[in-house]
Amino acid sequence: MNKETIGQEFRALQLFICNELERVDGTGKFSEDAWDRTEGGGGKTRTIRNGSVIEKGGVAFSEVYGPVSDEMKSQLKMEGNQFYATGVSIVLHPNNPHVPIIHMNVRYFELDNGIHWFGGGIDLTPHYVVQEQAVLFHQKLRSVCNKYDESFYPKFKEWADEYFYLPHRGETRGVGGIFFDHLNNHFQLNKEQLFRFCVDLGESFPFLYEEQVNWGKNKAVSESEKQWMNYRRARYAEFNLAFDRGTKFGLYSGGRTESILMSMPPVAEWEYDYQPDPESPEGKTLAYLKEKHTYL
């Protein structure tokens, strides 16, 4: 399996996910923005806004290549002279605080020295944590993982707990999910099997999200709940700008800024030293995110 085939299938995955998300949303439609990278490659950024469920969302495909710059070597700790990278990245911000924010990405990276790997992950960021929703999400992720290796879910869940964490806040970004990186000959799976795992995860994405949407999309929303959603969106923005590896890679590799920052919420709020009532739903969600949890 060569890099061109992987790129083609990731592009097909992007289109599949967009079609399914339009079905889930009901009214929203994706528009596409094609872009080129001066150093080599480009991408297709597909965005949706003001739908029945999704206030702002994006499903981005990129396929970039070229010289490994000194900045990339320094910031990303990589060796080699030429690189190739392709992947699909998704972030959806709903318009109802009872529907969670969701993220997923799958990616492939190759250097001219023969080093290559797969990476990716999916995580759920509720505005209000509902234990049953989180359990359902993790059950479905385990089912996808178990088709390839039963050690995937516990290991990747642990990596997600470590990765999707805001150390300056002392809290997790949400209820976690799975995260993996630099997978090549791990777990006795070959290159094609690891790729198939990435595609399977991607094809599962819209159906995982549909379950979360159906759980909360019809719930009534108060102004205070809307404001809390904006506080939670601010936490999401903090993580992506300060810690997300994909964001950093895109910026340091000369990627397209608009596509890289597609993950930012449409509106977010930072209120100085905001402290919700500990007994309120907001206070309980915040306390929940400061603890580690096992869902299965």
Q: Which residues are catalytic?
A: 103
Letter string b/e over residues 115-139, b meaning 16 or more CB atoms within 10 A of that residue's CB: ebbbbbbbbbbbbbbbeebbebbbe
Contact (CB, 8 A) for 148 and 185? no
Q: Which of 62, 76, 3 is nearest to 33 (CA)?
A: 62
How many helices, marked H, and strands, marked E, lie in the chain? 9, 9
How many CA atoms are closer than 13 Å to the CA of 104, on its beta-carbon side?
Answer: 20
For 3-23, give the secondary structure using H, E and C: HHHHHHHHHHHHHHHHHHHHH
State the virtual CA torsion across 227, 49, 44, 184 in degrees, nearest 10: 40
φ/ψ of residue 166, rounded to 5: -100, 95
DSSP state letter for 262: G
Q: Distance from CA of residue 124 to its chain's centroid? A: 9
